[in-house]
A and B are shown apart, each in its own frame.
Chain A
C-alpha cells in the first residue's frame, strides 16, 4: 500500500488546511480514504455525541498536482487510514498561512504507519524554503471494516430540496439556538407549484415557540428517478402507507393532498447544523437537503473544489 500527494500551490495548501480544520470540528474519529480519484474524510460520530456522519470528498485534480497511490490489492484499490484529526490540525494550524507547498506521504517507522506531512515554508531572510515535517501516527483500517466507510449512494429520502442561501438561515439558526437545542425541520411540497417546496424551522421552549418559514425552494432532480403520470418525482420511499401505484392514481384524479406532498418532519440537534453552516471555507455554491421522516437529515454541500455529505440523525425516531 502506498499513498503520496503533493501540491505546490499556496492557495491549494491553505484551502486544504482550512477544510481539514473545518471537518475536525464536526466529529472526532476520522478515516481517510484514498482512492485513485479522490480523498475522502469520513467521520462517524459517536451516538452519544449525536452520531453525525460526514463524508468530505476532495477530488485529486482540484487540489493536488502530484498524486499517486497503490491500494491494498487489485480488488481493493484504496488506502484507508484511521487518523486523529486533532493531531493533523495541530500540525497545520500554526504555519499553513505561509506555506508554499505541502506533501503528504504514507510511511512507516518501526513497523508503525505514519502519515508524513511536509510543509514548505518561507525563511525570513533569504528566498530559500525550509521544510518542516510532521509525522502523524495513523492506523490502517482492516479490510473487514471498509464497508462502514463507503460513500452511501443515492439515499432514499422522503423529500429533497435546495436549502435556502446561508445568509438567510444563519442568523435565524443563531437566534433559535438561544431558545432550545431541539430544532424541528418541516418540509413540504407546494401544492400550487410542484417544482417548489417550503421549509419551516421551529424551536420551542417553556416560554416561547418560534417558526421560520422559507418558501419557494427549488427541488433538485436526482438521476434515474421514476416519474409518474402527474409529474411527481418519487425516490424509493413514499411514506409508510402509500405505494407508488396508489399515489399515481390519486394524483391523476386530482386528490388534494397527494402522499408525496405530506409534510416531512425531522427533529435534530441545532448545534450540529450550526457547526456545519459556519464553515471557514468560502460560501457553498449549493446545499441540498434530504429528509427522511423522523430518521435523518442529510445535507450535500457543494463548494467549488470539494463536496461534503453530512448525515444528522433525528433526535427521536418513531
Chain B
C-alpha cells in the first residue's frame, strides 16, 4: 500500500497581490502571427513554476472532483502539485498530482510555492478543448511568472491553441488538522463501487450522518436520521467490499454534516477504492485512489471535522440500539 501524505510543514509566505494590468485591446500590439511564449521569454526572468502535461483532460477531470467552492490554494513543491479547496474550517479537500504525471516540471527555487486563485475560472480554462471527446490528447503548459500576479496557461488541442491568464489572490494558510496517522482510532478500506452506492442513497433530508464502527461485531455502519426514519448501511469486515478493517479499541460513533460529506461524492465516484481513517478526536480522513489508464495513480484526500451538537443525548439514544 502506498504511503499517503499528511499535512506537512506549511510555510506561509506573504505574496504580492493581484496586479492591475490594463486590458490590452489595441490592434497594433496584438499580432496573431507571433509564436506562443517560451518558458523563458526574452527579457523576463524565468518563471517560478513551469509544468507541462500531455493529457490535460485527465488532470482536468481529477480537479473537477473537488470543485465545491470558488477558491483553491495550490502548493507546488518538489514532489508535485497539491490543490486544496476548503469549506468553513470544517472540510478540506486535496488533490495530489505527483511530478511523474507531468512530462516536464520545473520549480525554479526549491522552496514550496503557494498561490491562490479562482478555481471555477481555472476549470473553465482547462476545459477549453476543441471537442468534447476524450480521445484526442491535449497538451497543457502552466507558468507562474516571477511576479506571481497571474497564472498563465497554454493549451493545445487538435491545432486549436488557447492562452489563459488567471489572476492570483493572496494565499492564506491552509488548515492543518493535525491528523495523527500514528494513533488512529480506526481504519477501513472499502471498494468505491459499493461505497458510492451508499453515499448517493443517503437520505437527503438527514442533516447529519453518523459513522459507527463496532469492535465486537466488526462492522462499519453509516446512519442517517431523516423525518421519515433512520437509514442504516452496514459494511461487515468479512464483506467483499471491505479490503481492510482495523477496528478501534472500543466501538465509536461520530457524526458529520451531510452537506460536507456530499462534497466527497464526485471524488468517490471517480475512484477505485476509499480509505476511511479516523483519529481519536473523530477527525475523518477520506482518501480516494483514482486509477488512470497509463498507470499513474492519483490521490484525492478529504479531511472532515466531526459535528459537535449542543445536545448529544436526544439523538444518541441508548447504547443498546447500537449493539
Question: A: which residues have CB within 8 A of B?
Answer: 164, 167-169, 171-172, 175-176, 178-179, 184, 186, 188, 190-192, 198-200, 204-216, 262-263, 265
- 19 sampled A-B residue pairs with Cβ under 8 A: A168-B130, A168-B160, A171-B128, A171-B131, A172-B130, A172-B160, A175-B124, A175-B127, A178-B124, A190-B32, A207-B166, A208-B118, A208-B121, A208-B167, A210-B124, A210-B128, A212-B128, A213-B162, A216-B159
- The 3 lowest CB-CB distance pairs between A and B, nearest first, are A168-B130, A208-B121, A198-B32
- Is there an interface contact between A191 and B33, defined as CB atoms closer than 8 Å? yes
Stretch at the interface among B22-30, B41-49, B278-286, B306-314: B22-30
- Is there an interface contact between A210 and B25, defined as CB atoms closer than 8 Å? no
- Is there an interface contact between A208 and B128, defined as CB atoms closer than 8 Å? no
- Is there an interface contact between B129 and A171, defined as CB atoms closer than 8 Å? yes
| Cβ contacts under 8 Å, B28 to chain A | 262
Partner of A190, one of B33, B117, B158, B161: B33
Docked pose: A210 CA to B95 CA in angstroms: 24
- Is there an interface contact between A172 and B25, defined as CB atoms closer than 8 Å? no
- What distance in Å separates the Cβ of B120 from its nearest Cβ neighbour in chain A? 8
Give per-residue flags for B167-186: 1 if the beta carbon is below 8 A from chain A beta carbons, else 0. 10000000000000000000
With A168-B131, A184-B25 already in contact, the answer to whether A213 and B166 are too (CB < 8 A) is no
- What distance in Å separates the Cβ of B137 from its nearest Cβ neighbour in chain A? 15
With A209-B164, A215-B161 already in contact, the answer to whether A198 and B131 are too (CB < 8 A) is no
| Cβ contacts under 8 Å, B165 to chain A | 208-210
- What distance in Å separates the Cβ of B23 from its nearest Cβ neighbour in chain A? 6
- What distance in Å separates the Cβ of B70 from its nearest Cβ neighbour in chain A? 10
| Cβ contacts under 8 Å, A184 to chain B | 25
Partner of B167, one of A200, A207, A216, A263: A207
A192 and chain B: residue at smallest CB distance: B33
Docked pose: A208 CA to B125 CA in angstroms: 9
Q: Which secondary structure dominates where chain B touches chain A?
A: loop
- B108-129 at interface with A (beta carbon < 8 Å): 117-118, 121, 124-125, 127-129
Docked pose: A205 CA to B125 CA in angstroms: 13
- Is there an interface contact between A213 and B160, defined as CB atoms closer than 8 Å? yes
- Is there an interface contact between A167 and B30, defined as CB atoms closer than 8 Å? no
| Cβ contacts under 8 Å, A169 to chain B | 130
Of listed A190, A207, A262, residue having the most chain B CB within 10 A: A207
- What distance in Å separates the Cβ of A178 from its nearest Cβ neighbour in chain B? 5
Of listed A172, A192, A262, residue having the most chain B CB within 10 A: A172
Of listed A199, A204, A212, residue having the most chain B CB within 10 A: A212
Give per-residue flags for B114-155: 1 if the beta carbon is below 8 A from chain A beta carbons, else 0. 000110010011011111100000000000000000000000
A239 and chain B: residue at smallest CB distance: B27
- B1-49 at interface with A (beta carbon < 8 Å): 23, 25, 27-28, 30-33
- Is there an interface contact between A211 and B33, defined as CB atoms closer than 8 Å? no
- Is there an interface contact between A172 and B33, defined as CB atoms closer than 8 Å? no
| Cβ contacts under 8 Å, B121 to chain A | 179, 205, 207-208
- Is there an interface contact between B23 and A263, defined as CB atoms closer than 8 Å? no
- What distance in Å separates the Cβ of A32 from its nearest Cβ neighbour in chain B? 36
Give per-residue flags for B240-269: 1 if the beta carbon is below 8 A from chain A beta carbons, else 0. 000000000000000000000000000000
